[in-house]
């Protein structure tokens, strides 16, 4: 057994070699099992650590999984915010334009090439997550090992459910960004075996695996809002079902979307908070009813686990575009909760309307998003009144939320949408509502792509978006390192 588990570390180093540069191979990312730990007979603590470390590529801690201020690799923080919010023209790189980190500007105007570090960065984070998850799944599916260390069945199932969810999450991000990607499901026992999987699998095959992992995760997940009450950050059954619904949404499988959201609602765990900002308020984390899955940033921990976007925001990054500001109707409280223009701060990103705090969570899935998926599915299946009712539910919560600056919301703000049977009109309402409700939550660019409106919307705003930009380029570093076995997306 010792020999078997010493070989598991090979996949980490191979994938790190495929997705990053050689000098990083000399550094064990923070929170990862070390070679010494792997080569010993695993213990319960080792197995638990393998799962816990699999969450870390979701963090925004500066230099978290790839240390050393590697701006040149796009790995200083997880850069969904660049690939989604900046690319969609909701966000400018900085409040005051300058030459700092010009690679972000190239994402904004679609003048990038495959060498742009934004693509390398997200590829590194997602495949680092997958490599860690595969180690965890190897442990947790080894019946002999689980019996030897004495792990209880319920604990094993809980951890394995989380691992399957995380692998599905990372692959869903990869397939939406890049289309066909290498599909690595095991930790190979040799470099030769590992190189055999360094080819792109079809997006359909990747999606099949995502659905398989989520089904396996749901089957063994505990029927509880939090699998472990003292650790509410862990992926839950609700998170699994919600991600299943999102995968179905992106495939326009409207009936399945509605079925899964009904299943999610049947758990009885989630509802809209009364106050819009409660989902993001760092002082209310895991005390609200709306957040379904979030990464748990914290202060004063070693290794560092703070929300590094607080620092980046404090350096002048992440300002709203005029077009984004103008998307909000008059007096909509959500604008100030998303971006505090007067103080040049993104409240939603840092988790506070008053301070640049460092422990605001990164929210990945919340119930308002799910409700808008449901509204979209209802509209597509002809239940127009049901779709409009959900849009009005979201608007009602927004206009009744206390404002960030203590002002009074004028009567008539965000009035209900009228009854309609015009599917196109209702879809326009939905698209507008998603933009302002989910602003700066790294959803917008994927929305534009799945609606097929990215080229129309972005070219109208002066962006050089082309048809082939519906997929990002595979990082050139990885094509080079694969010796050509990983191919490039068309157009790049």
Q: 285-323, pLDDT tens digit by residue?
A: 999 999 999 999 999 999 999 999 999 999 999 999 999
Q: Are 166 and 133 in contact (CB under 8 A)?
A: yes
Rg value, the chain, Cα: 22
Whole-number pLDDT of residue 7: 40
Delineate the domains of the chain, giving CATH numbers in brackets.
222-451 (1.25.40.390)
Residue 127 and residue 123: Cα distance in Å, rounded?
A: 6
Task: Over range 58-64, report the average pLDDT.
Answer: 96
Q: Is the pLDDT of residue 55 over 90?
A: yes
Closest among 360, 327, 292 to 447, alpha carbons compared:
327
Residue 358 and residue 337: Cα distance in Å, rounded?
A: 17
Mean pLDDT of the residues in the chain: 91
Q: Are 126 and 170 in contact (CB under 8 A)?
A: yes
Whole-number pLDDT of residue 73: 96
The dihedral region occupied by 280, where left means phi > 0, alpha psi between -120 and 50, and beta the remainder, is alpha
Q: Is the pLDDT of residue 218 over 70?
A: yes
Whole-number pLDDT of residue 442: 98
Whole-number pLDDT of residue 313: 94
Q: Is the pLDDT of residue 4 over 90?
A: no
Whole-number pLDDT of residue 33: 46
Beta bridge partners of 264: none
DSSP for residue 484: T
Categorize the per-residue pLDDT at 187 as very low, low, confident or very high, splitting at 50, 70 and 90: confident
Q: Is the pLDDT of residue 32 over 60?
A: no
Task: Over range 174-196, report the average pLDDT.
Answer: 81
Q: 247-267, pLDDT tens digit by residue?
A: 999 999 999 999 999 999 999
DSSP for residue 345: B
CA atoms within 13 A on the CB side of 271: 6
Whole-number pLDDT of residue 356: 85
Q: 377-417, pLDDT tens digit by residue?
A: 999 999 999 999 999 999 999 999 999 999 999 999 999 99
Categorize the per-residue pLDDT at 35 as very low, low, confident or very high, splitting at 50, 70 and 90: very low
Whole-number pLDDT of residue 188: 63
Whole-number pLDDT of residue 25: 34
Whole-number pLDDT of residue 482: 87
Residue 89 and residue 368: Cα distance in Å, rounded?
A: 22
Categorize the per-residue pLDDT at 17 as very low, low, confident or very high, splitting at 50, 70 and 90: very low
Q: What's the whole-model pTM score? A: 0.93
Whole-number pLDDT of residue 186: 86
Q: What percent of the chain has pLDDT over 70?
A: 90
Q: Is the pLDDT of residue 230 over 60?
A: yes
Residue 142 CB partners (closer than 8 Å, separation 6+)? none
Q: Is the pLDDT of residue 15 over 80?
A: no
Q: Is the pLDDT of residue 235 over 70?
A: yes
Residue 27 and residue 21: Cα distance in Å, rounded?
A: 11
């Amino acid at each position: 057994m010792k020999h078997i588990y010493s070989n598991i570390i090979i996949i980490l180093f191979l994938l790190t070699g495929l997705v990053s540069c050689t000098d990083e191979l000399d550094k064990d990312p923070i929170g990862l099992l070390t070679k010494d730990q792997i080569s010993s007979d695993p213990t319960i603590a080792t197995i638990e650590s393998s799962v816990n470390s699999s969450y870390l590529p979701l963090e925004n801690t500066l230099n978290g999984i790839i240390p050393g201020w590697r701006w040149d690799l796009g790995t200083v923080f997880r850069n969904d915010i660049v690939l989604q919010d900046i690319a969609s023209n909701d966000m400018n790189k900085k409040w005051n334009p300058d030459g700092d980190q010009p690679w972000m500007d190239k994402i904004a105007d679609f003048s990038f090439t495959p060498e742009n570090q934004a693509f390398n960065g997200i590829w590194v984070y997602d495949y680092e997550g997958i490599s860690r998850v595969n180690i965890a799944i190897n442990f947790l599916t080894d019946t002999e090992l689980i019996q030897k260390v004495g792990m209880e069945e319920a604990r094993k199932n809980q951890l394995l459910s989380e691992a399957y969810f995380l692998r599905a999450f990372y692959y869903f991000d990869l397939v939406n960004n890049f289309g066909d990607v290498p599909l690595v499901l095991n930790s190979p026992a040799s470099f030769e075996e590992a190189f055999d999987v360094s080819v792109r699998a079809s997006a359909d095959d990747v999606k099949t695996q995502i659905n398989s992992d989520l089904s396996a995760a749901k089957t063994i997940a505990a029927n509880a809002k939090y699998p472990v009450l003292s650790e509410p950050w862990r992926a839950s059954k609700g998170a699994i079902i919600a991600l299943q619904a999102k995968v179905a949404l992106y495939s326009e499988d409207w009936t399945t979307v509605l079925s899964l959201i009904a299943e999610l609602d049947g758990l009885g765990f989630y509802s809209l908070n009364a106050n819009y900002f409660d989902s993001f308020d760092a002082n209310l984390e895991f005390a609200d009813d709306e957040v379904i899955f979030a990464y748990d940033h914290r202060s004063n921990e070693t290794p560092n686990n703070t929300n590094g976007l607080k620092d980046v925001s404090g350096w002048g990054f992440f300002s709203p575009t005029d077009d984004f500001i103008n998307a909000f109707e008059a007096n909509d409280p959500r604008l100030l909760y998303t971006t505090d223009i007067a103080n040049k701060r993104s409240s939603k990103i840092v988790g506070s309307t008053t301070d640049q705090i460092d422990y605001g969570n990164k929210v990945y899935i919340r119930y308002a998003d799910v409700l808008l998926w449901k509204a979209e599915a209802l509209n597509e299946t002809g239940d127009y009144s049901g779709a409009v009712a959900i849009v009005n539910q979201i608007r009602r919560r927004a206009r009744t939320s206390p404002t960030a600056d203590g002002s009074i919301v004028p009567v008539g703000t965000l009035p209900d949408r009228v009854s309609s049977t015009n599917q196109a009109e209702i879809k326009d309402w939905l698209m507008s509502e998603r933009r302002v409700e989910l602003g700066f939550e790294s959803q917008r660019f994927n929305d534009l792509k799945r609606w097929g409106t990215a080229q129309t919307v972005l070219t109208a705003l002066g962006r050089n978006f082309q048809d082939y930009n519906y997929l990002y380029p595979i990082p050139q570093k990885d094509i080079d390192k694969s010796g050509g076995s990983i191919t490039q997306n068309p157009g790049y």
